[in-house]
Amino acid sequence: MVLASPVQTQTLSDLLLLLFGGATAFLLSYVLMFGVISLCRKMSLIRPTEPERKQDTRARLGGVAIYLAFVIASLIFYVRNPVLYASFNKYHDETTMYWLFLAASAVVVLVNAYDDVRPLKPLSKLLAQTVAVVIIMGPFIDGLFHGVLLFGFSNPFQASEYSSVLPLYRQAIVTIFINRPEISLLAIPAVLFTWFWMVGMMNTVNWIDGSDGLAGGVVAITGVFIAILSWRMGQDTVAILAAIFTGAVLGFLPHNWNPAKVLMGDSGSHFLGLGLAVLSIIGGAKVALALMVMGLPIVNIAVVIINRVRHGQRPWHYDSTHLHDRLRIAGLNPRQICYVFYGLTTIFGILALYLFHVYKLIGIALVVLTMAALITWIDHRQQKRSAPVNQPDSHDSGKETLSFQQTAADTTSP
């Protein structure tokens, strides 16, 4: 957790920075995507055929353009904001966090861009993810984590009024052994939890990148709600950064809308997942929102992993049991699948903005119930269509990849 910075006076200039920053990132991403498509065609940067996968001739380096658009726009509209430097303190230096985020993102984008053209082993990609998380936590020699460290949560059972004698379960923040981002043995649980959150978000986005327009749209909607909540909390600089991030993702969508001309690849899904993980922590109080808005993809991971383990397979074994695969087999086309995800993501985002404290737990429970209802509906529809879901074969080793799985979009025709 990063301690929330003091509420800043919201000005017209900040609002303009947010709007123009997002719009500039959108235009940059949209234009750079043409260059990526052209480069991939001229240099034949196409992923080779893999077992159990159809050959895909579409460019897979859309994530590189998204990252570059974000970097350029944020350097123009975010870094120059004087509020970043006026609110400096040694435990919460948002500028340092930003530079660490750019460096960590560069690691995952470069490693996975190579993987998008020449497949890497799963361990190599997990190592890149871990290196990126260590960078973004910023463990400096002065004994402090100067980056993003998730060491506490907003307590859903907190008391309505502050008191110095409140019991632990009624305090506003529940911490994980430490109250400050200091390097010590007590910080190990917080470090592990931060690693789990960030690696988990990278893989969450990667696992839903299985249909044209799906992952980009869901991430963009989530980014919009993070920007709105940050603005409402007076965290103008975080809102601006979230708007720029969202604009860069939206600039990719016209090229990725079915039938897609370019895929974000693992370089894109990992950058987008890392971005959501970081934006949900900076300033605090947005992890619960991310859990709700990204609830369907997160629950999807849990369901798929449980299904694979039940069939004697490793969690990253390739199959077609994701929610978007089930919807496709049930008869929905790629655009309809996007509409289902977009609609539910938007509904959960609106709820997250207005649900507070313990009610957010109810919202998360609603996400789980929605997933269960969707699966029940899909199973009923599949029975009528006699189209069973492709369950993993315990005698088939399949194709193991990491994030933990390569995007199913590679195997799905537009």
Q: What is the pLDDT of residue 405?
A: 37
Is residue 5, in this structure, part of any structural domain at all? no
Is residue 378, in this structure, part of any structural domain at all? yes
**How many domains does the chain divide into?**
1
pLDDT per residue over 53-75, tens digit each?
Answer: 666 678 899 999 999 999 999 99
Is residue 233, in this structure, part of any structural domain at all? yes
For residues 344, 345, 346, 349, the Cα torsion angle rounded to the nearest 10 degrees is 120
CA–CA dist 326, 329 (Å, integer): 5
| Residue 85 pLDDT class (50, 70, 90 cuts) | low
Is residue 181, in this structure, part of any structural domain at all? yes
Contact 225, 355 (CB under 8 A): no
| Residue 411 pLDDT class (50, 70, 90 cuts) | very low
Percent share of the chain, pLDDT over 70 = 80
Query: Does pLDDT of 5 surpass 50?
Result: no
Q: What is the pLDDT of residue 141?
A: 87
Percent share of the chain, pLDDT over 90 = 50
In terms of residue numbers, what domain contains 57? 12-411
Helices (H) and strands (E) in the chain, counts: 14, 2
Contact 250, 29 (CB under 8 A): yes
Which of 36-45, 133-142, 151-160, 327-336 is the least confident region?
151-160
Is residue 4, in this structure, part of any structural domain at all? no
| Helical ranges in 165-314 per DSSP H | 188-208, 214-232, 236-256, 265-279, 287-293, 295-310
CA–CA dist 216, 269 (Å, integer): 8
Q: Is the pTM of this model over 0.75?
A: yes
| Residue 302 pLDDT class (50, 70, 90 cuts) | confident
Q: What is the pLDDT of residue 165?
A: 66
Is residue 2, in this structure, part of any structural domain at all? no
| Helical ranges in 118-187 per DSSP H | 122-137
CA–CA dist 176, 153 (Å, integer): 9
Is residue 3, in this structure, part of any structural domain at all? no
Task: Tell me if the bond preceding 139 is cis, omega within 30° of 0.
Answer: no
Which of 245-249, 262-266, 359-363 is the least confident region?
359-363
Query: Does pLDDT of 251 surpass 90?
Result: yes
Is residue 7, in this structure, part of any structural domain at all? no
Determine the average pLDDT of the residues in 283-291. 81
